[in-house]
């Protein structure tokens, strides 16, 4: 880390941290919770590292009071969590489960009592299994079920929610869930993945509209994991075109309908041999293009791509170490090249400049759209010292440089309203199970004990100071 000046953020900048229901809650079969696609997937042999499941996870469901104290002690302005759909509506349609709703009510009240803004995500990947059995996101009906669920949550949690996020990273839900199959439900059907893209977008629009019909003043957002793709050779027309294809699949497949009211023509052309997109009906993009109060942006790393020269396996590296099928539907001529390091324990390259580039790009293309970094963080191999302390200088350095990069984007005019560190605590890292630790708080999975890493103390001080120290 080079010597840097201190950096201050606006007084009203929101400092937060984030988690997701399936990754932390556990209590998978308690108080009426129904099964989700992640229960099914993680219990299928070979799908997760070491066969890990979210059955117990961080046991957050039972340790809520204790976790609220950690959130308060960090001094967070906001806490981003997700609601497990199968906990509040076990079958994904029909009756709701009061005990499940009560849990989120206690969470929200606990946050408000401590002066912390609740930021609620309605869908962070735990689809009720019954809805997958009926077709999942490739089926249009799932979008209507999502609308009903969203409306009910607006009624139950009401004006206590500071910001509603409909979906977390629909890119992952669609392409990792239905194309590469490394996420639940583990299907490898490229055409279905593109249908899922559309029905997730549609679900967002329907849900946002439903929330606002119950709560006219509600703040509504969506969180995207936008990709920063760079060409191996910027002077190569073929490599630049590879970037365009990835940008269409990863970014504009969502930004287009959400913000421009249409799908990009090149996306449809690139994927014409996979699907005719006839699942997009008249009026759908108008439904999707509801006003967004803020765009949530999750950023971790960059991607390096070029036109595949026909040798080797272009799908072997999708930029995130997912070795199964390719998530890049219709882009089989694009090769992902491992970017220069350093790398995190996920194998993802560390490059804070991508954060600035991304936020500035969105600002240039959508000047009136406020943004919020809803996830950023890193997994490293943490070592517990003899005295129980956890020195994680790499995580501190990662967070420092990326927060600094957010500030640089704001210097360039980007309207960024907040930053959420991923994650509040170590948790179930999807197909990597408990092996990869993203938390600023360590979780001992044998005892459930929470221990602040150095990065948690550091982040607490950043929040208290309203910015970064000189280094």
Name the β-bridge partners of 375.
Answer: 298
Alpha-carbon torsion, ordered 439, 444, 446, 449, to 10 deg:
-110
Tell whether residue 300 is among the known ligand binding residues: yes
Tell me if 430 is assigned to a ligand binding site. yes
Q: Is the peptide bond before 342 cis (omega within 30 degrees of 0)?
A: yes
Minimum distance, C-beta of residue 45 to ligand PNW, in the bound complex (Å):
21
Residue 23 labelled as part of a binding site:
yes
Catalytic status, residue 132: no
- 52 contributes a contact to ligand PNW by CB under 6 A: no
Distance CA 267, CA 245 (A): 7
Q: Count CB atoms within 10 A of the CB of residue 401.
A: 19
CA angle 94, 100, 102 (to 5 degrees): 120
Q: Does 429 bind ligand PNW (CB under 6 A)?
A: yes
By the rule CB under 6 A, 376 interacts with ligand PNW: no
Cis peptide before 469 (omega within 30 of 0): no
Q: Which is nearer to ligand PNW, 9 or 300 (CB)?
A: 300
d(CA 467, CA 100): 37
Residues 306-365 that bind ligand PNW (CB under 6 A): 320, 322
Q: Which of 169, 247, 284, 357 binds ligand PNW (CB under 6 A)?
A: 169
Determine which residue in the list 247, 351, 375, 401 makes contact with ligand PNW, applying CB under 6 A: 375
Strands (E), 72-212: 78-82, 117-123, 163-168
429 assigned binding-site residue: yes
The number of helices, as runs of H, and strands, as runs of E, in the chain is 17, 15
Q: Pull the structure tokens for residue 20.
A: 């997701």
Token digits of residue 415: 């309207």
Q: Which of residues 441-460 bind ligand PNW (CB under 6 A)?
A: none
Nearest approach, Cβ of residue 380 and ligand PNW (Å): 13
CA distance 315 to 180: 10
Span of 34-42, 108-116, 167-175, 460-468 interacting with ligand PNW by CB under 6 A: 167-175
Judged by CB under 6 A, the stretch of 135-143, 166-174, 281-289, 355-363 that binds ligand PNW is 166-174
Among 25, 169, 335, 357, the one annotated catalytic: 169
CB of 276 to ligand PNW, least distance (A): 27
Give every CB contact of residue 219 below 8 A, 6+ residues apart in sequence: 162, 163, 164, 293, 294
Which residue in the set 225, 287, 349, 397 belongs to the binding site for ligand PNW (CB under 6 A)? 225
Closest CB to ligand PNW among 139 and 376?
A: 376
Task: Give min distance, CB of 251 to ligand PNW, in A.
Answer: 13
With contact defined as beta carbons under 8 Å apart, do 382 and 440 qualify? no
298 touching ligand PNW, by CB under 6 A: yes
> Do the beta carbons of residue 430 and residue 370 sit within 8 Å?
no
Among 21, 156, 168, 344, binds ligand PNW (CB under 6 A): 168
With both helix axes pointing from N to C terminus, report the angle between 141-157 and 98-113 in degrees, rounded to the nearest 10.
50
| 321/370 with CB nearer ligand PNW | 321
- Per-residue string for binding with ligand PNW, 8-27, x by CB under 6 A? ------------x--x----
- Reduced to 3 states, what is the DSSP secondary structure of residue 109? helix
Q: Is 69 a catalytic residue?
A: no
* Out of 81, 104, 422, 434, the residue judged to bind ligand PNW by CB under 6 A: 422
Burial string for 51-62 (b: 16+ CB within 10 Å, else e) reads ebbbebbbbbbe
User: Is 117 near ligand PNW (CB under 6 A)?
Assistant: no
Query: Which residues fall in the annotated binding site for substrate?
Result: 23, 124, 168, 300, 422, 429-430
Active site residues: 169, 375
Interacting residues with ligand PNW (CB under 6 A): 20, 23, 168-169, 172, 225, 298, 320, 322, 375, 422, 429, 438
């Amino acid at each position: 880390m080079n010597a840097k000046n201190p950096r201050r953020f606006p007084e009203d900048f929101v400092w937060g941290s984030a988690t997701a229901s399936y990754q932390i809650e556990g209590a998978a079969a308690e108080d009426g919770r129904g099964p989700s696609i992640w229960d099914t997937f993680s219990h299928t042999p070979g799908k997760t590292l070491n066969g890990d499941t979210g059955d117990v996870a961080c046991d957050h469901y039972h340790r809520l009071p204790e976790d609220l104290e950690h959130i308060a002690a960090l001094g967070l302005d906001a806490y981003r969590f997700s609601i497990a759909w199968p906990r509040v509506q076990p079958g994904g349609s029909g009756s709701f489960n009061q005990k499940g709703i009560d849990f989120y009510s206690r969470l929200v009240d606990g946050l408000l009592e401590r002066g912390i803004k609740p930021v609620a995500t309605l869908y962070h990947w735990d689809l009720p299994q019954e809805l997958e059995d009926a077709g999942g996101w490739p089926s249009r009906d799932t979008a209507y079920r999502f609308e009903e669920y969203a409306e009910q949550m607006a009624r139950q949690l009401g004006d206590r929610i500071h910001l509603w996020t409909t979906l977390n990273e629909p890119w992952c839900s669609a392409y990792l869930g239905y194309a590469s199959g490394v996420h639940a439900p583990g299907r490898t059907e490229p055409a279905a993945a593109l249908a899922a893209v559309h029905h997730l977008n549609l679900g967002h629009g329907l849900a946002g509209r439903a929330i606002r019909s119950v709560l006219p003043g509600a703040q509504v957002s969506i969180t995207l994991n936008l990709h920063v793709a760079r060409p191996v050779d910027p002077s190569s027309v073929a490599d630049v075109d590879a970037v365009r294809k990835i940008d269409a699949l990863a970014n504009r497949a969502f930004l287009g309908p959400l913000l421009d009211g249409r799908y990009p023509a090149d996306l449809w052309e690139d994927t014409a041999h996979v699907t005719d997109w006839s699942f997009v009906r008249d009026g759908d993009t108008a439904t999707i293009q509801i006003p967004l109060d803020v765009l949530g942006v999750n950023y971790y790393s960059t991607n390096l791509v070029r036109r595949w020269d026909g040798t080797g396996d272009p799908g072997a590296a999708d930029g995130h170490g997912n070795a199964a099928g390719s998530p890049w539907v219709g882009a089989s001529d694009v090769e992902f090249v491992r970017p220069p390091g350093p790398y995190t324990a996920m194998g993802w390259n560390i490059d804070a400049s991508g954060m600035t580039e991304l936020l500035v790009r969105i600002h240039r293309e959508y000047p009136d759209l406020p943004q919020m970094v809803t996830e950023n963080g890193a997994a490293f191999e943490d070592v517990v010292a003899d005295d129980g302390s956890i020195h994680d200088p790499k995580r501190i350095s990662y967070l420092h440089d990326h927060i600094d990069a957010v500030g640089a984007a704001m210097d360039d005019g980007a309207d960024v309203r907040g930053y959420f560190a991923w994650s509040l605590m170590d948790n179930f890292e999807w197909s990597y199970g408990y092996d990869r630790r993203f938390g600023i708080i360590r979780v001992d999975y044998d005892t459930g004990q929470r221990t602040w890493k150095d990065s948690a103390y550091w982040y607490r001080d950043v929040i208290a100071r309203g910015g970064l120290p000189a280094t």
